[in-house]
Amino acid sequence: MTREIRLNAFDMNCVGHQSPGLWRHPRDKSANYKDLDYWVNLAKTLERGKIDGLFIADVLGVYDVYGGNTESALRNSAQVPVNDPLQLIPTMAHLTENLGFGLTASLSFEHPYTFARRLSTLDHLTKGRVGWNIVTSYLNSGALNIGMPAQTRHDDRYDLAEDYLAVCYKLWEGSWEEGAVVRDREAGIFTHPDKVHPIRHDGPFFKVPGIHLSEPSPQRTPVLYQAGASSRGKDFAGANAECVFVAAPSKAVLKKYVSNVREAAARAGRNPRDVLVFNLQTVIVGETDAEAKRKFDEYRRYVSYEGALTLISGWTGIDFSQFQPDEVLRHRKTDAVQSAVETFTTIDPGKEWTVREMAEWVGIGGFGPLFVGSPETVADLLQEWVEDTDVDGFNLAYAVTPETFEDVVDLLVPELQKRGVFKTEYRPGTLREKLFGKGPRLAAPHPGTRYRDLAALAEPAVLNL
Amino acid sequence: MTREIRLNAFDMNCVGHQSPGLWRHPRDKSANYKDLDYWVNLAKTLERGKIDGLFIADVLGVYDVYGGNTESALRNSAQVPVNDPLQLIPTMAHLTENLGFGLTASLSFEHPYTFARRLSTLDHLTKGRVGWNIVTSYLNSGALNIGMPAQTRHDDRYDLAEDYLAVCYKLWEGSWEEGAVVRDREAGIFTHPDKVHPIRHDGPFFKVPGIHLSEPSPQRTPVLYQAGASSRGKDFAGANAECVFVAAPSKAVLKKYVSNVREAAARAGRNPRDVLVFNLQTVIVGETDAEAKRKFDEYRRYVSYEGALTLISGWTGIDFSQFQPDEVLRHRKTDAVQSAVETFTTIDPGKEWTVREMAEWVGIGGFGPLFVGSPETVADLLQEWVEDTDVDGFNLAYAVTPETFEDVVDLLVPELQKRGVFKTEYRPGTLREKLFGKGPRLAAPHPGTRYRDLAALAEPAVLNL
């Protein structure tokens, strides 16, 4: 196989995840998000196509920057209502065999002691097919509702993330030794108490004296995903992440990002190839280029201008309701607006983007690149991006669900397989083994492995439980 | 039908929930708790028997009072390891049609803003078949791990519970009006913004300004369960609970408790019959009395003395490792020990309980009464208890799982059905409709209904979001 391409499906427990307005399309089923039948069917479709994983985003909060209120988000179902992603995964895993599952969970909304038990439980129930997307940020509207002040400073956030992960690593990797659980019916010993250790964590944000409540799960630490675009974020991802998500709209931006992440991994003493980078991507595939173009034109008619700007406003912190649709934002002078404009400019350096054009770009699948064409055309583009940017795979957003994913599975995947760049069978084992061909546990020099021998950790054991 | 009897199954996402040591029994399958197949099979068995619900207990913490450490709990798998109960329910609900599900969740471990979304999600995914057991207490060993001081004072706990429930009621009942979600594809309106309200909650423990993140689920507020044995606890249950759990080992204790709960409901302005009281109960059923007795004698051989005392120590706060097995505790003078002894004494007023006898009592199914016999014998006893105590039903613990539940479904249920005291079909609709014949929403004068009109609430709207 020449350079293998990885494919994830990107979704959220809400309506029209990154395609504002397309819930109105007659074939869109995303409004069935409350029904497990919808999710089970999606998972089976993805598994039929040997897709690596279904990745479920989450936002705890409402996009209330646009117009300074929640009206547009509600009217356009721009990621609200939004339900808990965690509870979707066990059923999908129970009724499939190989598909991986990625759960998004922000560090800000649950204590690491209880969160670690949730993830161990999920890894048990999925038989080791779960990953965790470590999110360090959040919407201010969500933070306010749990009694937190507005978004913490960027660097503080990563200090907290490091303390949070240390707790998780200690619970997952260190608290229960291999062989602690013996289930010896004759001797009447379920667990050897001397092989289970209180973690005695005494960090700047969290104090966790006790043992982990769950016995070791197949992967112990789930496959770790992260999406850090800042310098500190890339360092954190380079050290900890096994998979990295990015939403780079152009090859230039993506190539630089991939290179930075691999360098950060190398600086952390890891093999730069042990980090898989996935770029956000929308593909509209038809039997022919013309059919794909017809489909795309049909989808575009359903994009909600207001819904798209509601998402962009939330992501950038700029209230786009103050601009006119035909306005070209390079005339605006604030730093935040310039930064948003610069990002769009990388997509097409010669282009002057109007607000309406920005909304239309984001309206079908969000901020990633958009490829429209026959299986051959789209496969050519994906291979070109892999070659030119060193990216490992793509995190596929939908325009219309499950149609976008069905087209990927039925049309694009066979073409990629024919070219020898996409697997025809899943690897056996856990998600980590499927993705990396090794596992099921983290391997040195990943920092999580340093927490296996708690006694050897340099930290003072201030608590003596 | 003469007085209907309700039956719940009682379990936990752990090994040998309330039958310490019986995981060693060759037919016990509780060590398969990490596997969804085990839970799906259990749910299907219970549904075949028209059992009202599967109730999943939870403990976030370790039983570390016995011997002052976690050794015995680990060795005997006395409710550790223990996994998250929430993640079991969607799959069981997806693969059954009528069985209800009760989730235990302590108010101490998750913020009401995020918890309310979890329960709304669960009610959506189960199509309205979920109940919540409101737990106000916790093990100190758990609290320490999330940075809390030891157990809060009893009355403070209920102050917190009332504030917590107010947040939940506002989110579930008040934030989204009926008809807010229109899904109008033509007009491009998913949700009417003017029918979704920020709750502006400004309570003593929680400040939650925003809107609920989930659209209304079939029941909005899940069926509310509670188990409050103190005076304040019974008042809280009388006002809020639709089902109440108790673990009364004798008819005298149970009768008094049922009467107190119904009085508390009446004081809160509710119909005393709108609260269903379930007593913890273990039944060992065989084709004949002799066969049931043989089964019971077989089970008893597997009880772990140390495991049982580990549970009793955790429940009472007394370290039972300090006593000799043949010791009679009435000679001990501390208040806590006397209180424990008094509870046992109600089971058999003439009896002087040794420590070993206490362990053996608790070792098969915990602290509830234990009935051993043919279907006729056990049905007689259950009916007698209903008549003499006014209890509505029983929360059935297992000795050996799923065997105890299979015996109930295959032997006891047909006998109860023959007598006309147990349903032969589930009622249609949500769990609330199945249990009460009305619903799916809370009905006045339940206090949750007062939060439907947020504008009419007397509290100051300090936040203007």
* Digit-coded pLDDT (tens) for A122-136: 999 999 999 999 988
Strands A100-106 and A53-57, how do they pair?
parallel
Cβ-based burial of A362 (10 A; exposed 0-12, middle 13-18, buried ≥19): buried
Residue B145: which pLDDT band, with cuts at 50, 70 and 90?
confident
Between chains, do B74 and A183 touch, taking CB under 8 Å as contact?
no
Q: Is B272 on the interface with A (CB under 8 A)?
A: no
Candidates A76, A93, A207; nearest CB to B190: A76
Q: Spell out the alpha helix ranges (H) of A213-279.
A: 231-240, 251-267
Q: Is A148 on the interface with B (CB under 8 A)?
A: no
Chain B residues near residue A109 by CB distance under 8 angstroms: 111, 114
* Superfamily name and number for B6-450: Luciferase-like domain (3.20.20.30)
User: What average pLDDT does chain B have?
Assistant: 93
Mean predicted confidence (pLDDT) in B412-431: 98
Candidates A60, A86, A191; nearest CB to B77: A191
Residue B94: which pLDDT band, with cuts at 50, 70 and 90?
very high
- Distance between CA A356 and CA B319 in Å, rounded? 70
Give the pLDDT score at B155: 67
Nearest CA-CA distance, residue A347 and chain B, Å: 30
Are A242 and A435 in contact by the 8 Å Cβ rule? The answer is yes
Q: What are phi and psi of B99, to 5 degrees?
A: -60, 135
Instruction: Return the half-sphere exposure (C-beta side, CA atoms, 13 A cut-off) of residue A166.
Output: 21
Give the pLDDT score at A348: 80
Closest-CA residue to B198 (of B178, B179, B171):
B171
Are B370 and B282 in contact by the 8 Å Cβ rule? The answer is yes
- Cα A441 from chain centroid? 20
Between chains, do A146 and B21 touch, taking CB under 8 Å as contact?
no
- Distance between CA A330 and CA A93 in Å, rounded? 47
Query: Using the 8-state DSSP alphabet, how is residue A419 labeled?
Result: T
Are B302 and B24 in contact by the 8 Å Cβ rule? The answer is yes
Residue B314 or residue B461, greater confidence: B314
Residue A328 has pLDDT above 50, yes or no: yes
Between chains, do B188 and A76 touch, taking CB under 8 Å as contact?
yes
Q: Spell out the alpha helix ranges (H) of A146-182.
A: 154-169
* Digit-coded pLDDT (tens) for B56-77: 999 989 999 999 999 999 999 9
Residues 71-110 of B with CB under 8 A from A: 71-72, 74-77, 80-84, 86-91, 93-94, 109-110
Residues 20-39 of B with CB under 8 A from A: 21, 23-24, 26, 31, 34-37
Chain A residues near residue B122 by CB distance under 8 angstroms: 84, 87
Are B398 and B370 in contact by the 8 Å Cβ rule? The answer is no
Which single residue is written with the structure tokens 């839970």? B39
What's the sign of the alpha-carbon dihedral A64, A283, A91, A40?
positive
Query: Using the 8-state DSSP alphabet, how is residue A208 labeled?
Result: E
Mean predicted confidence (pLDDT) in B208-213: 96
Between chains, do B125 and A15 touch, taking CB under 8 Å as contact?
no
- Distance between CA B188 and CA A72 in Å, rounded? 11
* DSSP-assigned states of every residue in B29-44: -GGGTT-HHHHHHHHH
Between chains, do A90 and B23 touch, taking CB under 8 Å as contact?
no
Q: What is the pTM of this model?
A: 0.96
DSSP-based helix, strand, coil % in chain A, nearest 5: 45, 15, 40
Residue B464 has pLDDT above 50, yes or no: no
Q: State the amino acid at position A210 in one-letter form.
A: G
Give the pLDDT score at A151: 58
Residue B400 has pLDDT above 70, yes or no: yes
Q: What residue ranges in B42-167 does DSSP mark as E strands? A: 53-57, 100-106, 130-135
Strand partners, A134: A105, A226
Residues of chain B with pLDDT > 70: what percent?
96
- Distance between CA B324 and CA B312 in Å, rounded? 15
Chain A residues near residue B81 by CB distance under 8 angstroms: 181, 191, 213-215
Q: Is B121 on the interface with A (CB under 8 A)?
A: yes
Q: Is B114 on the interface with A (CB under 8 A)?
A: yes
Residue B407 has pLDDT above 60, yes or no: yes
Residues 283-342 of A with CB under 8 A from B: 304
Contact partners, residue A344, CB within 8 Å, separation at least 6: A249, A351, A353, A358, A361
Residue B459: which pLDDT band, with cuts at 50, 70 and 90?
low
Q: State the amino acid at position A207 in one-letter form.
A: K
Candidates A60, A76, A125; nearest CB to B213: A60
Query: Using the 8-state DSSP alphabet, how is residue B17 labeled?
Result: T
ipTM of the complex: 0.96
Q: Is B273 on the interface with A (CB under 8 A)?
A: no
Between chains, do B70 and A196 touch, taking CB under 8 Å as contact?
yes
**Radius of gyration of chain A from its Cα atoms, rounded to whole angstroms:** 22
> Which of A40, A108, A120, A145 should be substituted to probe chain B, the one whose Cβ sees the most B Cβ atoms within 10 Å?
A145
Between chains, do B74 and A191 touch, taking CB under 8 Å as contact?
yes
Strand partners, B101: B54, B130
Instruction: Return the half-sphere exposure (C-beta side, CA atoms, 13 A cut-off) of residue B103.
Output: 29
Query: Using the 8-state DSSP alphabet, how is residue A410 labeled?
Result: I
Cα dist. B157→A270, B140, B245 in Å?
48, 14, 18
State the Cα angle at A16 between A10 and A18, rounded to 5°.
55
Cα dist. B209→B200, B461, B465 in Å?
4, 9, 7
State the Cα angle at A46 between A116 and A102, rounded to 5°.
15
Cα dist. B60→A315, A372, B108 in Å?
36, 50, 10
Give the pLDDT score at A351: 85
> Which among A220-229, A232-241, A287-296 has the top mean pLDDT?
A287-296
* DSSP-assigned states of every residue in A358-396: HHHHHHTTTTS-EEEE-HHHHHHHHHHHHHHH---EEEE
Give the pLDDT score at B332: 67
Start-to-end C-alpha separation, chain A: 54
Between chains, do A90 and B86 touch, taking CB under 8 Å as contact?
no
Chain B residues near residue A84 by CB distance under 8 angstroms: 117-118, 121-122
Nearest CA-CA distance, residue A171 and chain B, Å: 11
Peptide bond between residue A81 and the one before it cis (omega within 30 degrees of 0): yes
Strand partners, A181: A191
Strand (E) or helix (H) holding A223 = strand A223-226
Strand (E) or helix (H) holding B11 = strand B6-12
Q: Which residue of A has its CA nearest to B59?
A: A213
Residue B300 or residue A347, greater confidence: B300
Are B449 and B255 in contact by the 8 Å Cβ rule? The answer is no
Residue A153: which pLDDT band, with cuts at 50, 70 and 90?
low
> Which of A24, A25, A38, A74 should be substituted to probe chain B, the one whose Cβ sees the most B Cβ atoms within 10 Å?
A74
Between chains, do A193 and B34 touch, taking CB under 8 Å as contact?
no
Closest-CA residue to A51 (of A447, A423, A437):
A423
Between chains, do A210 and B144 touch, taking CB under 8 Å as contact?
yes
* Digit-coded pLDDT (tens) for A339-397: 777 778 888 878 888 999 999 989 999 888 999 999 999 999 999 999 999 999 999 99
SS3 state of residue A57: strand
Contact partners, residue B345, CB within 8 Å, separation at least 6: B351, B353
Chain B residues near residue A80 by CB distance under 8 angstroms: 191, 211, 213
- Distance between CA B385 and CA B279 in Å, rounded? 10
State the Cα angle at A40 between A36 and A44, rounded to 5°.
170
Mean predicted confidence (pLDDT) in B291-310: 97
User: What average pLDDT does chain A have?
Assistant: 93
Residue B6 or residue B108, greater confidence: B6
Q: Spell out the alpha helix ranges (H) of A203-334.
A: 231-240, 251-267, 289-300, 305-316
Contact partners, residue A300, CB within 8 Å, separation at least 6: A360, A363, A364
Mean predicted confidence (pLDDT) in B26-54: 98
